[in-house]
Amino acid sequence: MTRVRLEIDEVQIHRPKKRWKLYFLVVTDHPTKDDKMIITTLPHEPFKLSRRHDNSFQFDTDDAGSNGLFVLSRDLPEDRELNVHLYLRHTRKATRDLGEILKDVEQGIGGDAFGMVTDVVGTTTLPWLVVAKKAIPMIGKILSKIKDRDFGFLSAFERFGPEFEDVYEIDRKKEFTGDASLVYSWSVDD
């Protein structure tokens, strides 16, 4: 079976401030249940940008064998489309329990949340919250109540077309709805 993999390669902040504690909230299709989606936070703890980073953080390098920040790996859906939403957030807290965010989302969604799972899209250490697809529009409202700064949302939706037949990995660059941009890569492995 063909598998697809998503990695984050670089994040760029377009603000004058030079110090950030950033994390991602990821929302994607459930791999086996069409009426559900899954949500997680990445990485385990916020990553810090200081003045030396000049508002850019590289997860991937040009070194042989280097990879970006792993997001997911799963079987390619039959329709060859995969929907992934990425939210970028900045926390001012010295230490931030990213599990709290998933609990806040779970409480905000209420009866449309179905608990936590692991090892669902190639990650055994990250917990994913399973939610009803119909509850996804509430995510933005729930996040607005969390005191962390919002750098916005971007869609990493991918339709795996013929361009993936000749190339193993394709990089994409997109702007968040806020003051940041992202380089991420989709790869296909048979």
Mean pLDDT of 59-84: 88
pLDDT digits (tens, 9 = 90+) for 170-183: 999 999 999 999 99
pLDDT over 80 at 190, yes or no = no
Using CB atoms within 10 Å of the CB of residue 87, give its burial: 0 to 12 exposed, 13 to 18 middle, 19+ buried. Answer: buried
Any bridge partners for residue 174, and if so which?
A: 182
pLDDT digits (tens, 9 = 90+) for 115-166: 999 889 988 788 999 999 999 999 888 988 888 999 999 999 999 999 998 8
pLDDT digits (tens, 9 = 90+) for 73-115: 999 999 999 999 999 999 988 777 888 899 999 999 999 999 9
Domain boundaries, the chain: 3-180
Residue 98 one-letter amino acid:
L
3-state secondary structure 143-176: HHHCCCEEEEEEECCEECCCHHHHCCEEEEEEEC
Strands 113-117 and 36-49: unpaired
Evaluate the omega torsion of the peptide bond into residue 77 and state whether it is cis, within 30 degrees of 0: no
Q: 17 is written with which tokens?
A: 């401030």
Can you tell me the distance from the alpha carbon of 14 to that of 86, in angstroms, rounded to the nearest whole number? 17
Mean pLDDT of 32-53: 93
Residue 64 has what pLDDT?
65
Can you tell me the distance from the alpha carbon of 131 to that of 110, in angstroms, rounded to the nearest whole number? 9
Round the average pLDDT of the chain to a whole number and report it: 91
Q: Is the model more confident about 56 or about 63?
A: 56
Residues 6+ apart with CB under 8 A from 88: 11, 22, 23, 24, 150, 151, 152, 176, 178, 180, 182
pTM of the model: 0.93
